[in-house]
Structure 1
Amino acid sequence: MPFIDILIFAVIAIFLIFRLRSILGTKDGFEKPQKTMHTESKKDNVINFKTKSSDTIHEALNGSGLKDLRKLDTSFKDEEFLNGAKAAFPLILNSFSEGDLGNLRRYVGFDLYEEFATAIHQRDEAGEKLKINIEKVNDIQLLDAEISDGIASVTVKFDTIQTRILTDSKDVEIEDDSFSSEQIEDIWIFERDINSKDPNWKLVETGTTEID
């Protein structure tokens, strides 16, 4: 089964954007949003994805794990996986900024989902709104992979230009949590049980660094 069967990268970067047709179980392994994806209340909220710095996640990455993954899962194809990740990245960010918990639940692992949900509820209670715009995708790279007890983890780096605007209950911009046209490096980790019939990958960890 092609990488399409590998999963939908579920997540975020610490303020987490978009996607198209029902791809669950298809080549890139990234599930596409259903037309009813906005059935839950849409609240614009923000979450700080800096649960871990990308410097920390970069440690111990040497690319050797990708070779092991390709051997154990012959359906894994780098290009198809990256195409799925490229589509999942804006989808997850957009879902987070809109407070779409239903959509996030399909793409993000349980623990990370709980963190996102908590952040969204806090923003909602404070009356804050988050808008994220990905102006340009400079590069997407597979950094490494790891397999432990049948669980495959793949680390991906997204180099993008983003604008994020957080406003308070009076629609006044919160400058400390907002920025315009900044180069951002997001490191996301996706996981999948390679013994499962479910082809989808889910986002389980994120890290963000602003590039000077």
Structure 2
Amino acid sequence: MVEILLLAAVAIFIFARLFSTIGKQKGAPPPAFRRDEQAEQRPQPVHVVRNPDEVDEEDDSISGIGQISRIDPSFNQREFLQGARGAYEMIVKAFADGDRSSLKNLLNDDIYQDYDSALKQREESGEEPLELMRLKNAAIESGDVRGSMAEVTVLFEAELTNGDRISDTKELWTFERDTKSRNPNWKLSDVSAA
């Protein structure tokens, strides 16, 4: 009986010490309790969105995305990513078909000139166009605001085919939209290899 009481006393002592150590808050307070200036000084984590179903509409942790949401309350990450996937497919198809009129509606003027030059070279050489086999993944990489111009960069991973040859591609596509414009459509403004 004395042994049981002694073991119980030791157990209570150990639990009390554990609780006093674990129960103490260490480090910085949770983000919700930080003052705004403290939160702005810390680097914002980058959350890569892999597909539209994973997007949390309230998540503005992607660099610049929160800023876009503040100046354009209609901006929605899930809808944007779905639209970007659709735009990717339309642009690749229009380029393969040589459909300049569709490209003109989907690209800004600078990148349209690049696509038009590439189409002219392909038409002169008789080269077979690359066609989309499968869009494997689309992920928002970053966002930015310059004046009233919002930009969102998306990483696309796809399989393209050129006749019998299949190739994997990874590209960063940047879409832009003037937030002061009534036109809700985003246009492709830059493409680079990832």
Under TM normalisation by the shorter chain, which class is it? Answer: 0.5 to 0.7
Aligned twin of 2:66: 67
Structure 2, unmatched stretches of 5+, are 1-60
Match of 1:105 in 2: 104
Deviations along 1:58-93, one digit per CA (max 9) or x if unpaired, are xxxx93211111111110000001111111111100
The 5-angstrom pairing of residues 38-53 of structure 1 reads: none
Runs of 4+ aligned structure 1 residues displaced above 6 Å come to none
**Superposition TM-score, scaled by structure 1 size:** 0.59
Q: Which has the higher contact order (CA 8 A, sep 6+)?
A: 1
Q: Does 1:189 align with 2:143?
A: no
1:162 is matched with 160
Q: Which residue of 2 aligns with 1:78?
A: 77
Paired with 2:71 and 2:169, the residues of 1 have a C-alpha distance of 33
Q: Is the 8 A contact 2:94 2:100 kept in 1?
A: yes
Letter in 2 for 1:92: I
CA contact (8 A) 2:140 2:152 kept: yes
**Cα distance per residue 1:19-61 (max 9 Å; x no partner):** xxxxxxxxxxxxxxxxxxxxxxxxxxxxxxxxxxxxxxxxxxx
With over 3 angstroms needed to count, the CA separation of the structure-2 counterparts of 1:119 and 1:138, relative to structure 1, is: closer
Measured in 1, the distance between the counterparts of 2:122 and 2:139 equals: 31
Aligned length: 134
Tell me the CA shift for residue 126 of structure 1.
2.1
Structure 1 Cα separation of the partners of residues 161 and 102 of structure 2: 22
Provide the residue aligned with 1:3 in structure 2.
Answer: none
Gaps of 5+ in 1: 1-61, 166-172, 174-178
Q: Is the 8 A contact 1:186 1:207 kept in 2?
A: yes
Cα drift, residue 128 of structure 1: 2.4
Q: SS at 2:93's partner residue?
A: helix
| Higher helix residue share | 2
Contact (CA 8 Å) 2:130, 2:160: kept in 1 or not? no
Tell me which residue corresponds to 2:30.
none
CA RMSD of aligned residues (A): 1.7
Name which of structure 1's ranges 83-92 and 122-131 shifts more when overlaid on structure 2.
122-131
1:121 is matched by which residue type in structure 2?
K
Q: Which has the larger radius of gyration?
A: 2
